[in-house]
């Protein structure tokens, strides 16, 4: 792990009671940290297309006694694919997923669909291709390009966070 989920979640400033969606949750590093930050009244949806990763996350959830994470097998490149109700999420997290997606615009529109008015998005992705680490150079979504993509679907830049030596982190608001 080259980006520290606990540090990034602290910079995001989640509060107890918030509803969070970790999109492309993978093994759930962000889901677990977010669940701790929004406890006891908050909830985290951990969404991923890979059911085997969600099964591993379920074991971590049990091991850590976290009752406020719901795992969802979903296709984030389809509107409605997260299976999360419209305008029900305070904060969405998309870490190391944007560079992998074919349909980035639909993914961003799905985030916009599930976020409440003035909801926030924490986007973390690779800053570049680092020889044997991260995505191939052809797949990197550079920070300036990510900002343009998000502005194009109605997100407003809020601020950057320090997401590690190999990543950028940006917080956006739904307009």
Q: Given the DSSP bridges, would you call strands 43-48 and 19-23 parallel, antiparallel or unpaired?
A: parallel
CA neighbor of 164 nearest in space, from 130, 131, 132? 130
Q: What is the pLDDT of residue 74?
A: 97
Q: What is the pLDDT of residue 139?
A: 79
Per-residue pLDDT, averaged over 12-29, amounts to: 96
Q: How far is the C-alpha of 116 from the C-alpha of 111, rounded, in Å?
A: 10
pLDDT in tens, 27-67: 999 999 999 999 999 999 999 999 999 999 999 999 999 99
Structure-model confidence comparison of residues 129 and 69, the more confident one: 69
Number of Cβ within 10 Å of residue 61's Cβ equals 22
pLDDT band at 135 (very low <50, low <70, confident <90, very high): low
Q: Which superfamily does 5-174 belong to?
A: Vaccinia Virus protein VP39 (3.40.50.150)
What does the block give as tokens for 65?
A: 């006694």
Query: Does residue 138 surpass a pLDDT of 80?
Result: no
């Amino acid at each position: 792990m080259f980006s520290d989920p606990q540090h990034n979640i602290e910079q995001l400033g989640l509060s107890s009671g918030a509803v969070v969606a970790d999109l492309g949750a993978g093994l759930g590093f962000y889901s677990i940290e977010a669940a701790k930050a929004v406890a006891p009244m908050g909830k985290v949806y951990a969404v991923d297309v890979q059911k085997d990763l969600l099964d591993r996350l379920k074991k971590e959830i049990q091991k850590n006694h976290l009752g406020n994470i719901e795992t969802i097998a979903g296709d984030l490149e389809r509107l409605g694919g997260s299976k999360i109700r419209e305008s029900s999420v305070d904060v969405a997290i998309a870490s190391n997923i944007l560079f992998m997606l074919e349909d980035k615009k639909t993914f961003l529109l799905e985030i916009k669909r599930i976020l409440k008015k003035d909801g926030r998005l924490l986007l973390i992705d690779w800053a570049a291709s680092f020889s044997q680490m991260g995505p191939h150079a052809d797949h990197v979504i550079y920070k300036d390009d990510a900002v343009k993509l998000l502005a194009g679907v109605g997100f407003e830049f809020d601020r950057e966070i320090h997401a590690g030596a190999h990543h950028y982190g940006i917080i956006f608001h739904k307009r």
